[in-house]
Structure 1
Amino acid sequence: MIQNEAHLINLDRYPIHRDCPERDAVLLQVRADLARDGCAVLKGFLTAEAIRALTAEAESVADKGHRSFSRTNAYFTTDNASLPEDDPRRQFFDRSNAFIPADNFAPDGPLRRVHDFDGFDRFIQECLQEENFYRYADPLADVIVNMAEEGNGFPWHFDTNNFTVTLAIQNATGGGSFEYAPMIRQGGENFAEVAQVLNGTSDKVTVLELEPGDLQLFRGRYSLHRVAPLTGDRRRYVAIFSYVEEPGMVGAPERTQQLYGRTLPIHHERAGQRVDSYLD
């Protein structure tokens, strides 16, 4: 086990734990990237030692991942026959993926220790420049690992939570690029542009090739995105930290069941408590 949390994060390059000109410069660059298209990547955020530790931890709980195979639209809703056939809400795609729920990661494990590192939340909040900023209160989803194998992927979708922070841990042998259409749902559903992304005619799609140790900040509530199908026999692991605008927010029961294979009482107690009216 890594004894010193400072060995997890590349603090020479990203001194998130102290106020200094180097930290200010990182903030300026991240903010500029987020303002441009809702996505910023901090290359080499983790140390090589941390990458090894997080990979080992993910491997140790891989059997806890919930695998699901279904057909879904970008909003995780059921079909509505009253809409036109070419409406994006009626476009369904194969989804094959696995998530290792948050309650499988120990408080003293490397994943939680990165999340709880002194200054981590404050740094993320200052990057996003959000006054209302809270950790996702979902006990199954505040910090999870996405696990994908050959043939898996995640079709086009919008996130339920407003801010997603991810750490690339291990790439598959091939495939798995992160593709997104920046901010196309900001200010409205914009079904026409969503339809173009889904049918492959949009010129607004950006493709990212993330490497192990990269930290990504992404506004997935507003940007349609997907993970391209994987190839090869090596699993892809990506840690996901989630933040929202209101305290106490958790996932909807239907979507939680889809993603994690189970729900908890809190998901039903807080069903319908959202701060916006976007489709999920």
Structure 2
Amino acid sequence: MRFDANTLINLDQFPIHSDGAARDALIAQIHSKLAKDGCVVLKQFLTPMAIRLVTAEADSVARYAHRSFNRTNAYFTTDDPALDPDDPRRRFFDRSNAFIPADHFTKTGPLRQIHDVPAFDPFIKACLGQQHVYRYADPLADVIVNMAEEGEGFPWHFDTNNFTITLAIQNAEEGGLFQYAPNIRRSGENFDAVKQVLDGTSDKVVSLALEPGDLQIFKGRYSLHRVSPLRGERKRYVAIFSYVEEPNMVGAPERTKQLYGRVLPIHLERAGQRADRYID
């Protein structure tokens, strides 16, 4: 079934589809917030109907989620014994989470229909305020749903892609806070600041309680972040739309295998093809 934009997005409050003063003011507010700490939340961006539709879609494909239970550092790299034992690259934490890969969400499903609203990409590009913004070309990771259950969460990490756009779909009964330390990578790796976050001594950590229908724009390549453990029987669903600064970018093979349980030929063909020099 096809839906129009008004059915899916709260266009009265967020006029992303119409040029004019209201849209310009909204984008200006977003620019200010992103410049400050790399994160902005648009409350109730989705309509109640859209929330119901996407929740039902996530439920219908939840069985395809790749669950992983392992230990990772903030960079998803392997241990390097040559480094100091207290180096943040040698700090590993339990990770228990699940991702429903992108190839389980069809073009005619509600999640991709939201992403494909004609005004959506231009709005995101205007919000990010950068000349080069592209949809993530990874066929397993461009549009995904993060699924978490009782006791699960996601430890401190950086994102592979430069910008992440998330839609909160369904919360657990308790827990699941989104916590981040803004702009740690503004000028390099900044391992000392990362160590403070991992040690629990940083004063930079911000906590957000996202609600179903909220749209979050986040520069996860530069800000260390995590999701706190969940409590209760209800699953937590968060949809993720990923954007990058280079065309045709896909995830690194090792990290893709960790997150989605498999790699495709495209991941091996394009391994290492990105301009920045961050270790992940």
TM-score by length of 1: 0.99
Poorly superposed stretches of 4+, deviation over 6 Å: none
Q: Does 1:270 align with 2:273?
A: no
SS of corresponding position for 1:112: helix
Name the counterpart of 2:104: 104
> What does residue range 255-266 of structure 1 map to in structure 2 within 5 Å?
255-266=255-266
Q: Output the CA distance in 2 between the equivalents of 1:11 and 1:253.
A: 39
Give the structure 1 partner of residue 203 of structure 2.
Answer: 203
What CA deviation, in whole Å up to 9, does each residue of 1:45-66 have, x standing for no partner?
0000000000000000000100
Measured in 1, the distance between the counterparts of 2:258 and 2:84 equals 26
Corresponding residue for residue 67 of structure 1? 67
Indicate the residue corresponding to 1:36 in structure 2. Answer: 36
Cα deviation, 1:17-42, whole Å, max 9, x if unaligned, reads 11021111110111111011000110
Mapped to 2, the partners of 1:108 and 1:5 lie a distance apart of: 14
Ranges in structure 2 where 5+ consecutive residues have no aligned partner: none
Q: Could you tell me how far apart the structure 1 residues matched to 2:30 and 2:12 are?
A: 17
Unaligned runs of 5+ in 1: none
Distance 1:127 1:239 in 2: 19
1:227 paired residue number = 227
Q: Deviations along 1:207-227, whole A, 9 cap, x unmatched?
A: 000000000000000000000
Q: Which residue of 1 aligns with 2:91?
A: 91
In 2, Cα distance between equivalents of 1:95 and 1:265: 26
Residues 10-159 of structure 1: pairs in structure 2 closer than 5 A: 10-159=10-159
Q: TM-score, normalised by structure 2?
A: 0.99
Say which SS state the counterpart of residue 51 (structure 1) adopts: helix
Deviation at 1:2, TM superposition (A): 6.2
Query: Does structure 1 conserve the Cα–Cα contact (< 8 Å) formed by 2:3 and 2:113?
Result: no
- TM superposition shift of 1:4: 2.8
Code of the aligned partner of 1:191: F
The 8 Å contact of residues 95 and 154 in structure 2, kept in 1 or not, is answered as yes
Contact 2:2/2:108, CA 8 A, preserved across alignment? no
* Corresponding residue pairs, total: 280
Partner AA of 1:234 in structure 2: R
Tell me the alpha carbon deviations over residues 133-185 of structure 1, each in whole angstroms, 9 at most, x when there is no partner. Answer: 10000000001000000111000000000000000000011000000000011
Letter in 1 for 2:198: L
Kindly indicate whether the alpha-carbon contact (under 8 Å) linking 2:178 and 2:228 is maintained by their aligned counterparts in 1: yes
Aligned to 1:217: 217
1:94 Cα shift?
0.2
RMSD of Structure 2 on Structure 1 (CA):
0.8
